[in-house]
Amino acid sequence: MIWCREFGGEGQPHYHIAIMVNRDAYSALGRILGQQEPDFPWWLAEEQAVSNMAERIQRAWGRTLGLTGSQGIGLVHFPDSPVQLISKGSSMYTAQYHEVFRRMSYLAKVDTKLYDDGFRNFGCSQRGGE
């Protein structure tokens, strides 16, 4: 996961994150906010698939903020096309790679960051246990 902190016109911080997973290990992410998922697993009930990943992300953000239950659900926004696959062996690999690079570049916008307030503007998850 990679995150960045930004400030909008209202002066309050908000965060953007990119979650990257190995599709071989996480082949069935489910749907995000009811959007069609190309590899929707047949064994997952429809109502579970609709809220599956989005709900996990929203609840995790709520826990990070010290909220309980579903209090954090309205605090997370997902873009229109939240999933981008990269398949190294695919004939579409170069196009997929460039699209991910374009999306990730959004996090690096200079004009929405504060650099002198003592807080980090960027971070990433760390692999533990090594």
Radius of gyration (Cα) for the chain, nearest Å? 17
Which amino acid, one-letter code, is at 85?
Answer: L
Higher pLDDT, 78 or 97: 97
Rama region for 19: left / alpha / beta (φ>0; ψ in -120 to 50; rest): beta
Q: What is the pTM of this model?
A: 0.71
SS3 4: strand
> Per residue in 9-68, pLDDT tens?
888 999 999 988 877 776 555 556 555 554 555 555 554 544 567 777 888 888 888 998
Residue 84 and residue 69: Cα distance in Å, rounded? 29
Per-residue pLDDT at 100: 94
Q: 122 pLDDT exceeds 90? A: yes
Query: Mean pLDDT, the chain, as a whole number?
Result: 80
Residue that has been written with the tokens 């997370």 in this structure: 76
Per-residue pLDDT at 50: 46
Please check whether residue 29 is in contact with residue 83, taking contact to mean a CB–CB distance below 8 angstroms. yes
Please check whether residue 84 is in contact with residue 101, taking contact to mean a CB–CB distance below 8 angstroms. no
